[in-house]
Amino acid sequence: MPRFFMAGSNFKGGTAIIRGRDAEHVRVLRLRPGEDVVICDGEGTDYKCRLVYADKEQAEAEVIEVVRCPAEPSVKVTVLCGLPKGDRSDYIIQKCVEAGAFEIQFFSSSRCVAKPENLEKKLERWQRIAEEAAKQSGRGIIPQVGWAGELAGALDIAVKKELGLFMYETGEREALNAVLDGQKGIETAAIVTGPEGGFAEFEAKLARICGLHVCSMGERILRCETAPVVALTAMMYATGNLS
């Protein structure tokens, strides 16, 4: 069923008013009066609607039922990633949104090759990717994509969550499954992953000083775009969000 995100102000009485890009999307999909759509307010509420009118400028839909979006996880997970090269950030955003991330933040660390150039344009593009992934996967929110600055900024975000994980590929680490055991009731969490070259030893020490769990995901070395998705999926399973 087609899905749209709209601000609450677009709902008037029992009617949803669809304008702009979403109205154009209705036209592209060739939706006709009588067909059903889902409109989400971006805060986790779904409005199941029936289209009553559509042209190239605007569409109107009758609200049939209002329900909480069943696709939103019970835990709000912030994914913090070292900025990767090329379009790997696009993959990270798309897959982490699909897997249930609450927000995604990129940062710069000692082994980052990519530089945060044209950041404003990047953030606009990243947010569009997040919106499309949220629509495709039936999310009740559009996860925000942001820039955390340097690693210290990312760690500052992570330590404010109930559970903070720092994924590290070498040295002394905790087993991820052991850390996640018994965490089903948590409400907030953070996952920190590195760029292509991973983290330097001093960065892992800094994470420990901050009180984060420095974790292993086994003996295999994962690509920088794979690690956040794997860790997030493990988090979703441990907190009962893959049942």
Mean pLDDT of the chain: 93
Q: How many residues would you count in the chain? A: 243
Q: How far apart are CA 220 and CA 183, in angstroms?
A: 24
Instruction: Report how far residue 101's alpha carbon sits from residue 131's, in angstroms, rounded to the nearest whole number.
Output: 13
User: Which structure tokens are listed for 70?
Assistant: 């069943």
Q: Rounded distance, CA 143 to CA 146, Å?
A: 10
Q: Decide: 214 and 207 in contact? Cβ < 8 Å.
A: yes
Highest mean pLDDT, choosing among 6-20, 25-39, 204-218: 204-218
For residue 12, the model assigns a pLDDT of 77
* pLDDT bracket for residue 9 (50, 70, 90): low
Distance CA 110, CA 199 (A): 7
pLDDT at 190 over 80: yes
Q: Over 90: is that where the pLDDT of 219 sits?
A: no
Q: Name the band, by pLDDT with cuts 50, 70 and 90, for residue 19.
A: confident
Q: How far apart are CA 207 and CA 158, in angstroms?
A: 10
Q: Indicate if the pLDDT at residue 7 is higher than 60.
A: yes
Query: Around Cβ 208, how many Cβ atoms within 10 Å?
Result: 13
State which amino acid sits at residue 180: L
Q: What is the mean pLDDT of residues 164-191?
A: 95
CB 151 within 8 A of CB 108: yes
Q: What is the pLDDT of residues 110-130, one digit of tens each?
A: 999 999 899 999 999 999 999
107 strand-pairing partners: 82, 149
pLDDT over 90, % of the chain: 75
pLDDT at 8 over 70: no
CA atoms of 225 and 219, how far apart (whole Å): 17
pLDDT of res. 106: 98
